[in-house]
Structure 1
Amino acid sequence: MKRVMILGVGAGFGLALARQFGRQGAAVVMVARNALKLQDYQDQLADEGITATWQAADATDFVQLAQLFKDENEIDTLIYNVGITTPDDPIHTDPHDMEARLRANVTSAVAACQSFLATAHPETILITGGGAALHPSPVTTSLAMSKAALRSYTLALHTAAAAQGVYVGLMTIQGIANVGPEMAPDRVAAAYVTAAQQRSAAEIFYPGGVPSKTSEFDQLKQLAADPQQRAALLAAHPEFAKYQKYLK
C-alpha cells in the first residue's frame, strides 16, 4: 500500500479508514463532496502525525469521477465507501429516489472501479458492502436491493480483476457504527487494512467472519426495544431520531 484513495469519507468509518491506512504508512487521498469537512479531517489527521490530502468530488457524477482518476493516476488501492442507508419501503418510495440510491450505492461503484482499473498501477479494491444484502426488509428496501447488487458486482469483479493481478474484496459490514465494541470505527477500519494486506478472500464478513443471522436493522430494532439502550443509541446516533417510527 503506497497511495490509498477512500471514496466516501465522513466522520465515522471513512475518517477511521484514513487514519488506519495512514498509520500503516500509506499516503491517503480522501474524497467526498464537502470540502470544508475534508479540510477538517485533514487537520485532525495532521495533528495525529498522519499525512492525508483530499479531493472534493461527487461519486454519482461520472464526469467528476473520470477527472478524479485522471488527477490521481498513481493510486494503488481504492476503497469505495459511498452509500445511502436511509430507510424506505417498496410501496411508497418514489422510483426516482430509489434510482438515485442505486446510482450512489452501485452504479457509481462500477464507474469508480472501471476508472481506477485504467490508472497506472491498480493493485487493490475494497468495497463496503452490508448485511442488508442478505436480509431483504420492507423498511430497508433500496438499501437491501443496492447492497445485493453491489455484492453481485464485487464478487464478479473479484474474479475478473484477478486476471490483471488486481485484488478485489467485499467488506460485508454486519453492524452499526459505535453500537458495541466490535463496531467502533477504528476496529472496523482495521479489518480493511488486514484485508488489503492478506489480499485473498472475495468477501469478508465483519464482525464474526460468517454471515449474520440478523440484519443491521433487526439489530437496531432489538436495541431500540429497551428504553435505556434506545436512549444510548439515539445519543450515539442522533440522526436515527427521524427514523423512530421504523424502530417500533
Structure 2
Amino acid sequence: MNKGTALIVGVGPGLGLALAEAFARDGHPVALFGRDADRLGKQAAELTGQGFVAAAYRADAGDPEDLRTALGRAADGLGAPEVLVYNAAVMQADTPTGLDAAAWAQALAVNVTGAVVATRTVLPLLRDGRGSLLFTGGGFALHPSPEYTTMSAGKAALRAYVHALHADQHGSGVHVSTVTVAGNIGGEDPRFAPDALAAAYLDLHHQPKDQWQAELVYA
C-alpha cells in the first residue's frame, strides 16, 4: 500500500534532514520545510537522486499564513499527509530579562504557535483521518536554563500543548507525541546523532495503537 506524505517542518542539516531521510527510506513522499530555499532545494534534490519522492517548500514557521500555505501546497503536490514532524525552533542564548516583548513574541511564534498552526492545518488533511503528529521537544522543558530562556519556556509550552493534544485525540486514529530530546543533538554522544534520533521518531510512527504515548523522553 502506498504511504502518505511525511511533512517535516524545520529542516536543517542535522535532525531535520535525518528525519526527511528516515521517512523517505520508509517509503513516504517527503516534504521539506524551512526558510532557506536554496539549501532545501539541494537537500530535496539529493533525496530524489536516490530514488525517493521529495520536494522543498520555503516557509517561515513563525508566519502562520506562510506556513499554512506551504503545508497546503505540499499536500496538493505530494498527496495527503500521514505524518507531521514539527521540528522548527528558535535556538538562541538569552536570559530571563534580556529580551523585550517583541523578541519574546518572535521566539514563541516559532517555538509554540507554529506547532499549533501546523496541527490545525494538517489534521483535516490526514489521509483517512489517520496518522502521526510528532513534535521535537527538549530537555529544557524539564530543566529550564537561565541562559536559554525562550527555548526553555517554548519547549515547556510545546510539551504541555502536545500532552493536551494527545488527550484530545484519544480514541481517534491520530498518534500525537513529543520527543523530549534531553541531550546535545550531534554532540559526542552517539545516542544523540541525528540518524539515531530520527529512528526513534520513525519507531513512534510505527507503534501499535495500544502503545501510543504522549511523550518519549530521549535521554
SS at match of 1:89: coil
Give 1:107 deviation, angstroms.
0.8
* Shift of residue 13, structure 1, vs aligned partner: 0.4
Tell me which of 204, 217, 224 is aligned to 2:216: 204
Q: Which residue, 139, 148, 152 being the options, matches 2:147?
A: 139
Task: Find the counterpart in structure 2 of residue 41 from structure 1.
Answer: 43
Query: TM-score, normalised to structure 1's length?
Result: 0.79
TM value normalised by structure 2: 0.89
Measure the CA separation in 1 of the matches of 2:34 and 2:86. Answer: 11
Identical-residue share of aligned pairs (%)? 37
The structural deviation recorded for 1:132 is 0.3
Larger Rg over CA atoms: 1
Partner of 1:2: 4
Measured against aligned partners, the alpha-carbon deviations of 1:110-159 in whole angstroms (never above 9, x if no partner) come to 11101111215252100000010011121111111110000000000011
Paired with 1:133 and 1:92, the residues of 2 have a C-alpha distance of 19
Q: How far off its partner does 1:49 sit?
A: 3.4
Q: Is the 8 A contact 2:11 2:33 kept in 1?
A: yes
2:22 aligned partner, one-letter code: Q
Distance 1:65 1:32 in 2: 10
Q: Distance in 1 between matches of 2:60 and 2:14?
A: 18
Q: CA deviation at 1:96?
A: 1.4
- Which one has more relative contact order, counting CA pairs under 8 Å at least 6 apart? 2
- 2:93 touches 2:149 (CA, 8 Å); kept in 1? yes
Gaps of 5+ in 2: none
What displacement does 1:56 show? 1.1
Shift of 1:85: 1.5
1:16-36 alpha-carbon deviations (Å, 9 max, x no partner): 001111111111111111110
Matches within 5 A, 1:236-247: none
* d(CA) in 2 for partners of 1:46, 1:69: 20
Please provide the CA RMSD for this pair. Answer: 1.5
Does 2:89 match 1:83? yes
Quick check: which one's strand share is greater? 2
SS of 2:165's equivalent in the other structure is: helix
How many angstroms does 1:91 deviate by? 1.7
> Distance between the aligned counterparts of 2:56 and 2:67, measured in 1?
14
CA distance in structure 2 between the partners assigned to 1:51 and 1:191 by the alignment = 22
In the alignment, is residue 172 of structure 1 matched against residue 184 of structure 2? no
Aligned with residue 103 of structure 1, among 101, 109, 121: 109
Structure 1 unaligned runs (5+)? 208-248
Tell me the matched-pair count.
207
* Native 8 Å contact 1:69 1:119 kept in 2: no
Are residues 120 and 128 of structure 1, via their aligned partners in 2, closer, same or farther at CA, if it must alter by over 3 Å? closer
